[in-house]
Structure 1
Amino acid sequence: MTDRKAELAANLAAVEERIGAACAAAGRKREELTLIVVTKTYPASDVRFLSELGVRHVAENRDQDAAPKAADCSDLPLDWHFVGQLQTNKVRSVVGYADVVQSVDRVKLVTALSKEAVRAGREIGCLLQVALDAGVGGRGDRGGVAPEGIEELAASVAGAPGLRLGGLMTVAPLTGAYAGRQQAAFERLMDLSTALRVAHPAANMVSAGMSADLEQAVAAGATHVRVGTAVLGVRRGLG
Structure 2
Amino acid sequence: MSTIANNIAKVAARIREAAQAVGRDPDTIGLMAVSKTQPAAAIREAHEAGLLDFGENYLQEALEKQAELADLPLVWHFIGPIQSNKTKPIAEHFDWVHSIDRLKIAQRLSNQRPAELPPLNVCLQVNVSHEPSKSGCAPEDAAELARAIAALPRLRLRGLMAIPEPTDDPVEQHAAFARVRQLQEQIGAQLDCLSMGMSQDLEAAIAEGATWVRIGTALFGARTYPAQSDTPPANDQRNNR
TM-score normalised to structure 2 length: 0.88
SS of structure 1 residue aligned to 2:62: helix
Q: Which residue of 2 aligns with 1:205?
A: 193
Q: Which residue of 1 aligns with 2:215?
A: 227
CA distance in 1, matches of 2:137, 2:171: 20
Change (3 A) 1:28 1:67: same
CA distance in 2, matches of 1:216, 1:163: 29
Q: Which residue of 2 aligns with 1:77?
A: 73
Question: Contact 1:82–1:103 at 8 Å: present in 2 too?
Answer: yes
Question: Contact 2:170–2:204 at 8 Å: present in 1 too?
Answer: no
Q: Which residue of 2 aligns with 1:111?
A: 107
Question: Contact 1:140–1:146 at 8 Å: present in 2 too?
Answer: no
Pairwise CA distance, 1:121: 4.4
Question: Contact 2:129–2:176 at 8 Å: present in 1 too?
Answer: no
Pairwise CA distance, 1:140: 4.6
Q: CA deviation digits over 1:160-198, x for unaligned, max 9?
A: 1211101000001249xx99822111011010111122x
1:15 and 2:11 aligned = yes
Q: CA deviation digits over 1:54-113, x for unaligned, max 9?
A: 101110011021111112112212111111111011111112221110000001101111
SS of structure 1 residue aligned to 2:93: coil
SS of structure 2 residue aligned to 1:64: helix
SS of structure 1 residue aligned to 2:60: helix
Runs of 4+ with deviation above 3 angstroms: 118-122
Question: Contact 1:182–1:213 at 8 Å: present in 2 too?
Answer: yes
Change (3 A) 1:8 1:179: closer
Question: Contact 1:96–1:120 at 8 Å: present in 2 too?
Answer: no
Instruction: Give the counterpart letter for 2:162 in structure 1.
Output: T
SS of structure 2 residue aligned to 1:166: strand
What is the percentage of aligned positions where both structures have the same residue? 39
Match for residue 193 of structure 1 among 167, 175, 184: 184
SS of structure 2 residue aligned to 1:18: helix
Q: CA deviation digits over 1:110-161, x for unaligned, max 9?
A: 1111111146744211100000122xxxx85221011111122112211112
- 5+ residue gaps, structure 1, are none
Give 1:1-239 correspondences, 5 Å limit: 6-118=2-114, 121-134=117-130, 140-174=132-166, 181-197=172-188, 200-201=189-190, 203-239=191-227
CA distance in 2, matches of 1:122, 1:99: 9
